[in-house]
Amino acid sequence: MHTSSPRFNSTRQAPSRVIRAGLAFILALGVLVQLSSVRAAETKLTGDRFAAQDGELVIHPINHATFAIGWKDKTIYVDPVGGGQKFDGWPRPDLILVTDIHGDHLNADTLAAVAGEKTAIAAPSAVAEKLPEALRKKTTVLANGESKTLANVTVEAVPMYNLTEERLKFHTKGRGNGYVLTIGGKRIYISGDTEDIPEMRKLKNIDVAFVCMNLPFTMTVDQAANAVREFKPKVVYPYHYRGSDVEKFKKLVGEDAGVEVRLRDWYR
């Protein structure tokens, strides 16, 4: 009896070990689910929402000229700079738009950090020339006036440049791109670094516009407001405005223009 007892105990203990292992697996699975839920919450874009086809557009200002647009399962980054850590916990972008070669619009290290395997990049040739080979392979080069469908988003490259004599050195015509995007039936204009050029003033049917203003590199608040009153987007965000009086901009656009001016903190 004494010799059979250990064998009897081991057969009884085996199911217990299986049960304990199963419980541990269930607990671990629960933790993973919780972590996944937290991660999903962290990556959700927040900000202003606009009704669009098949879902809402989400506008998420980040800093200066950098922002994100969300729609359905799509995420778009505009001029992502500042290092990859700034975008930790964010969704991988389906599309990245780069407007110009200056450091507040282009940073190759940041692009490499945030771009995923399937991320498409749209940029002017001056930008593409400055990218490492791996990023160039992801990049569709667009010149002013050209358009392309990327990540199911229609991207039209539009001019951005300076007009004033003393500012011509900053942005020459044809080097950089502004963009008009068509997403969910909405047209979104991104000015890039520009003055109040004729091409901006002739824009039609813009639902949301991002218009720059800062000296000496782009244009004055007065120029920006005057142009907005002419092309009349439904909603306009002043951005890339460091040092500019955006309250004055809102006042100059005025309520009679039929344009909603949305002031947001791009420098928090």
pLDDT tens-digit map of 200-226: 999 999 999 999 999 899 999 999 999
Q: What pLDDT, on the 0 to 100 scale, is given for residue 17?
A: 57
Q: What pLDDT, on the 0 to 100 scale, is given for residue 18?
A: 45
Cβ-contact 130, 105 below 8 angstroms: no
**Tokens in use for 145?**
């006036």
Average pLDDT, the chain: 87
CA distance 65 to 210: 9
The average pLDDT across 89-113 equals: 96
How many other CB atoms are there within 10 angstroms of residue 45's CB atom?
Answer: 15
Over 90: is that where the pLDDT of 179 sits?
Answer: yes
The sign one gets for the Cα dihedral 6, 8, 14, 17 is negative
pLDDT band at 155 (very low <50, low <70, confident <90, very high): very high
The average pLDDT across 63-70 equals: 96
Over 90: is that where the pLDDT of 258 sits?
Answer: yes
CB within 8 Å of 163: residues ≥ 6 apart = 195, 196, 197
CA distance 65 to 151: 22
Percent of the chain that is helix, strand, coil (3-state, to 5): 30, 25, 40
CA distance 222 to 219: 8
Strands across the sheet containing 235-239: 147-150, 153-158, 178-183, 186-190, 208-212, 235-239, 260-261
- Please indicate whether residue 189 or residue 13 has the higher confidence score (pLDDT): 189
CA distance 86 to 134: 21
| Centroid of chain to Cα 235 | 18
- Please indicate whether residue 224 or residue 25 has the higher confidence score (pLDDT): 224
| Phi, psi of 38, deg, nearest 5 | -65, -45
The domain 46-261 having CATH identifier 3.60.15.10: the answer here is yes
